[in-house]
A and B are shown apart, each in its own frame.
Chain A
Amino acid sequence: MGLLTNLHRKVIVLGLVPKFLKQLPQVAKLLMLISLIMIAIIPMDGQYRRTYISENALMPSQAYSYFRESEWNIVRGYRSQIEEFVKNNATAKERNLEVESWLQDFGIKTSIYHNEEHQDTLYGILHTPRGDGTEAIVLSIPWYNGDDEFNVGGAALGIGLLRYFSRWPVWSKNLIIVFSENPRDSLRAWVEAYHTSLDLTGGSIEAAINIDYASDSDFLDYVEIYYDGLNGELPNLDLLNVAIKITQHEGMKVSLNGQPKDTIDDDGYFPRLKTMLLGIRDSTFAGVKRVHGNEAFSGWRIQAVTLKACGTEGNIDITSFGRVSEGIFRAVNNLLEKFHQSFFFYLILAPRNFVSISSYLPSAVIISVVYATFSLDALVNTPFGPPMFFNKESLLSLMILSITLASSYFLSQLFIYAPNPGLLIGLNILLTIVPYFIRKPVSFFKEPLTYRIRVFGYLYMSLVLTSLLVINFPLAFMMGILSFPMTLVQTQQSRYIANMSIAIKNMLYLTLSNPFFAILIVSNVIDSDLKYLDVFYDLILAWNDLSCWTWFLICIGWFPAWLLIAMSTIKSSQVTSVEDEKKQQ
């Protein structure tokens, strides 16, 4: 204790605490910088780790795969039949009935899930000869893939695979094959129905492999693997590792997060950084951007990945692609209890490199601390003397916060029923410029109140980021960075009324940190699919089709904080401050 007491006394004697409190905004900016640096050093050598299989039972690529030439003919046969569907313009119903009869030929129990809104889904279950049938692995094949191409190769391969699996006695988990119309809402509707209303089921689904082979060619070039789920969920890293390891073992190149082929082999700091940032982007906009199929399984404790065959030229044939699925099925089949616990939060830097949550979480925590620090700054560094937290202004700001929250919630609901992005942007432009055009001080906004509103605005932002950290790190990180300009906003006091540059700066910062502007700009810059106002429609669709929360997080998490900060920039009526009192005396 002696040492601590000495230290405490030193701190008091030197007056470090008041000095520190004066510098809070600088401290917060420094913290922000530190947080960004912490993310930026992750791809450096020594900061990341090589991936490994943590569950020993999985043993990927340990068994010889037999899905080879003789099966190729069968796949070709199915494919030529499926090509007939396209030629004859077969309806979804005809397609499903025909495929159902093929599946029944080799002893699969099938059923069609009827859904008026999200189209019918055909699924079949191969009940395991061994095991108790309480667990299942899913092979899902959307008829049309995320790019709206007919998944001809995938469908043929899926049926061929299941036919091949059905002759094998090794399965200890039920195998389920699913043909949904698209990888989006109809697959999601099926997954939901599987867990709630379907009669024919095969136990809890441990893993799902989504196959996307939208060409009629026998050959492919490389494989893209998609893994990010909705609402920040990720499949267990073991499954992703197994998929990557088996794919590479079969001689194919793996591209993650949609990287083009020529950059797959790049190694070094910047390629790794790029992969990581692309991963953060994809995870932030999961469900909003193009959906590949694995997203549909989120939320039911199902580990899902999508394997997409890319290119029609190349020296890899379709059975190799089938052997990847076979290998993954064999590996997951070995799984005894469940996937290992500690592998649910990670960032991927390269197919064989990752960082776990402990490396990147601190930087997101620091971002949350940045907002808390600004909140403290607005509480402590006011011209109105020592802070009293529990007073009338706090109560008023708390009430304003509640009203803001309620109206943001109302706005988010309203927008779902009547999506009108133009109006939304217009409203926000109005909200941004209103503080600039209010020339006369508003009598309601006393100066101490504007400071207290900022306290609550930043505090709310910090709380939202903290709660979001462990659920959806990429979104929390994005929100934290994009809304940073709002911390630079200065409270406009009536004494600086002549100072127009502050008002203009405030307007600029508010524009940059407005959730809707920020999302609009970011989506247009980083994602070529989301053009102009598309992102707003897609956010709503993601909620309606896939129950993805991103829209609500933006509306209820970010928007109220921004509104409060915008409110605090309104010209306030003057109250005598401590300094003024001193001068008068």
Chain B
Amino acid sequence: MALNSVTICAICATLRLLGLWIFPSLGGLLDKSVEFSTPVTSYRSLKEALVLGMGSANTITFDNGYYNGGVVHHPPLLLQALQGIPISYHEYLFIFFDCLILMQFIKLTAQVKRQNKLFVNIPTWLPALIYAINPLSLLSCLSKSSVIFTNWCIINAVVQAMNGNIPITALFVALSGYLSLYPILLIFPLVNLVNLNSSRSQRVNHTIRLTLYAIYYCVFLIFISYKINGNNWNFLRANYMVFLNFEIVTPNLGIWWYFFIEMFTEFIPFFKGAFGLFLFSFVIPLTIRFCGQPFYVSIVILGWLILTKPYPVLGDYGFWFSFLAYFVPVAGYMRYKVFAMLLFIHGIMLSPIFYHLWIGSGSGNSNFFYAVSLVNALAIGTILSDLIWAMLRHEYDGETPNYDVKLAQV
């Protein structure tokens, strides 16, 4: 059963179009659900930003107050790019981007299969198919969450890093960071990925080039945004400080929000620091420890960012789960697959229920919903630690997996 990219794209587009046409109200419903939308990623806020800035002749006028109102959290370039597309076509734009992500998955799989014989047995279509039929990414696409653009940048960056194409890698990493800040941290594992098959002298060269290119693109994007925004820096605060300061205190799937409620006002600066450092602190150590497995560690770090970032949505999870298909060759090492899966299923089943008990029927409270957030985090954490164990075992056993040796986890 071999599926080519056209077939998978057709499957993906058909599923999403069917969802769109059979359940026309589903998108709006999902956009209101706390699992698929946050103030920084939801389509509601994107549309609001577009409508709010729309002056005459259907162009956004970025006047001085535009980013000060606390409503707009999307970067100027994204809004600039989207303003030309009529709102009625936005659904199709998101479906189109999902198909683009699929194509990149197929490219990526072909690429890793060429480079490493460990992956030879993975069907080229598998990660892409998982992405196409995964209900999380399907529903996220229907909810028109803007994470899809970030995800597209991330997968492009990984593919280009695999190819060793330094300027384009840097461009996409910078873009993903520009869109939602934290993916910029993927630059660390991607440096290793670029350097994977290069000689020692090339490595320094590559590293410096990638870093400089990324800095150059970041500065370039920010500067352009500054110019577009009428020579005003206030978009930086609306786009990035909102993450660092957790400025919109609203319940979501992540582990941050509970600590920012009024009860803990005294400690909020401490929590900001602790959560920010927590997020950052694992990235470089993981990169250094697994410098021999840069592709795997990129996936792990992506998962780590999803686990610890302030505004995660299920669209992030859906994207990340497709990457897990690359762990199939070492799946034998993983020991809590079923446990983690069950935990995750229970988490996403219970989270709308507990949210309803808290906000809807009023017979529960915020602790209920946060408990489910923690279950979700535990599930992702279990998957991550399992992946790391699999990577360690793979490193220990060398090229060929040896499932018969039992090692104790200490």
- A interface, CB within 8 angstroms of B: 5, 233-234, 299, 301, 338, 341, 344-345, 372, 379, 389-390, 459, 463, 466-467, 470-471
Contact = CB atoms under 8 A, between A and B. Distances in A.
Contacts of B363: 233-234, 344-345
Given A345-B363, A389-B338, A471-B357, 19 more contacts: A233-B361, A233-B363, A234-B363, A299-B361, A301-B361, A301-B362, A338-B362, A341-B365, A344-B362, A344-B363, A390-B337, A459-B342, A463-B349, A466-B350, A470-B354, A470-B357, A470-B368, A471-B353, A471-B356
B364 interface: yes
B346 interface: yes
B345 interface: yes
Q: Interface size bucket, B side?
A: 20 to 34
A389 B337 contact: yes
Contact of A467 (B349, B368, B410): B349
Contacts of A299: 361
4 closest A-B pairs (Cβ-Cβ)?
A344-B363, A301-B362, A467-B349, A389-B338
B331 interface: yes
Contacts of A390: 331, 337
Given A389-B337, A389-B338, A467 B350 contact: yes
Given A389-B337, A389-B338, A390-B337, A470 B364 contact: yes
A471 B368 CA distance: 12
Interface string B336-374: 011001100110011001101100011111001000000
Nearest to A299: B361
Contacts of B368: 470
A467 B364 CA distance: 14
A56 B364 CA distance: 21
Contacts, number: 38
Contacts of A301: 361-362
B325 to A, nearest CB: 11
Given A389-B338, A390-B331, A467 B361 contact: no
A344 B362 CA distance: 9
13 contacts: A5-B410, A233-B363, A301-B361, A341-B365, A345-B363, A463-B349, A466-B346, A466-B349, A466-B350, A467-B350, A470-B354, A470-B357, A471-B353
Contacts of A379: 338
A455 to B, nearest CB: 10
B357 A463 contact: no
Nearest to B349: A467
B144 to A, nearest CB: 25
A467 B337 contact: no
A239 B353 CA distance: 25
Contacts of B361: 233, 299, 301
A470 B353 contact: yes
B337 to A, nearest CB: 6
Q: Which of A5, A299, A379, A467 has the most CB of B within 10 A?
A: A467
A506 B166 CA distance: 65
A79 B248 CA distance: 58
A341 B337 CA distance: 38
A390 B324 CA distance: 13
Nearest to B337: A389
Nearest to B345: A463
A466 B347 CA distance: 11
B364 to A, nearest CB: 7
Contacts of A459: 342
A389 to B, nearest CB: 5
B343 to A, nearest CB: 12
A372 B364 CA distance: 26
Q: Which of B353, B354, B368 has the most CB of A within 10 A?
A: B353
B359 to A, nearest CB: 10
A471 B410 CA distance: 41
A379 B353 CA distance: 28
A523 B289 CA distance: 64
Contacts of B342: 372, 459
Nearest to B357: A470
Nearest to B332: A388
A345 B357 CA distance: 11
Interface in B283-328: none
B346 A463 contact: yes
A155 B353 CA distance: 39
A405 to B, nearest CB: 13
Nearest to A339: B362
Q: Which of B341, B349, B361 has the most CB of A within 10 A?
A: B361
B405 to A, nearest CB: 15
Contacts of B350: 466-467
A126 to B, nearest CB: 26
A36 to B, nearest CB: 24
A234 B361 CA distance: 10
A225 B410 CA distance: 60
A277 B349 CA distance: 29
A5 B354 CA distance: 37
B87 to A, nearest CB: 28
B55 to A, nearest CB: 37
B36 to A, nearest CB: 18
A335 B409 CA distance: 57
A427 to B, nearest CB: 27
A467 B365 contact: no
Nearest to B338: A389
A471 B345 CA distance: 18
Nearest to A368: B346
A379 B339 CA distance: 13
A526 to B, nearest CB: 26
A542 B311 CA distance: 40
Contacts of A372: 342
A355 B376 CA distance: 30
A459 B342 CA distance: 9
Contacts of B364: 344, 470
Contacts of B354: 470
Contacts of A345: 363
Nearest to A342: B365
A357 to B, nearest CB: 10
A390 B332 CA distance: 11
A344 B365 CA distance: 11
Contacts of A5: 410
A344 B360 CA distance: 13
Contacts of A341: 365
B34 to A, nearest CB: 17
B125 to A, nearest CB: 15
Contacts of B353: 467, 470-471
Contacts of A389: 337-338, 341
Nearest to A466: B346
Nearest to A387: B338
